Amino acid sequence: MNDKTKNISSKQVYTRLINKTEDYIENNLKEVISLKDLARNAHLSEFHFHRIFKKYSSETVNEFVTRFKMERAAIFLCVNPKINITTISMEYGYNDSSSFSRTFKKHFGISPINYRKQQELSRKSNWFMK
Amino acid sequence: MIEPINITTEELKDQRIIYIRFRGSYVEFRRKSKKLFNELFDFATANNLINPNKTKVLTIYDDNPFITDEKNLRTSVAMTIPTDAKVIESGKICESSISGRFAVGHFEMSGSQYGEAWQFMYQEWLFKDKAKPRDAVPFEMYITEPPKNLKDKSLTDIYIPIV
Buried b (16+ CB within 10 A) or exposed e, A56-71: eeeeebeebbbebbbb
Q: What is the pLDDT of residue A70?
A: 96
Cβ–Cβ contact A63 with B under 8 A:
no
Q: What is the pLDDT of residue A125?
A: 46
Q: What is the mean pLDDT of each run of 10 residues along chain A (130 residues)?
A: 75 91 93 95 94 89 94 90 90 93 95 88 56
Q: Give the separation between CA B70 and CA B52, rounded to whole angstroms.
A: 35
- pLDDT (tens digit per residue) in B87-114: 999 999 999 999 999 999 999 999 899 9
Average pLDDT over all residues of chain B:
94
- pLDDT (tens digit per residue) in B129-138: 889 999 999 9
Q: What is the pLDDT of residue A1?
A: 63
Cβ neighbours of B68 in A, within 8 Å: 71
What interhelical angle do A3-27 and A61-79 show, nearest 10? 50
Q: What is the pLDDT of residue A32?
A: 93
Q: What is the pLDDT of residue A86?
A: 94
CATH number 3.40.50.970 is the correct assignment for the domain at B6-161: no
Q: Give the separation between CA A48 and CA A61, rounded to whole angstroms.
A: 13
Q: What is the pLDDT of residue B101?
A: 98
Question: Is residue B91 helix, strand or coil?
Answer: coil
Q: Give the separation between CA B126 and CA A41, rounded to whole angstroms.
A: 34
Q: Which of B86, B79, B82, B84 is nearest to B56 (CA)?
A: B79
- pLDDT (tens digit per residue) in B52-67: 889 999 999 999 988 9
Q: Output the furthest CA–CA distance in chain A (Å, rounded).
A: 56
Residues of B with a Cβ under 8 Å from any A Cβ are 19, 21, 26, 61-68, 72, 74, 89-92, 94, 96, 114-115, 118-119, 122-123, 126-127, 132-133, 135-137
This complex has an ipTM of 0.88
Q: What is the pLDDT of residue A9?
A: 80
Domain A69-122, CATH among 1.10.10.60, 1.10.10.10, 3.40.50.300, 3.30.1360.180 = 1.10.10.60
Q: Which of B36, B34, B27, B145 is nearest to B93 (CA)?
A: B36
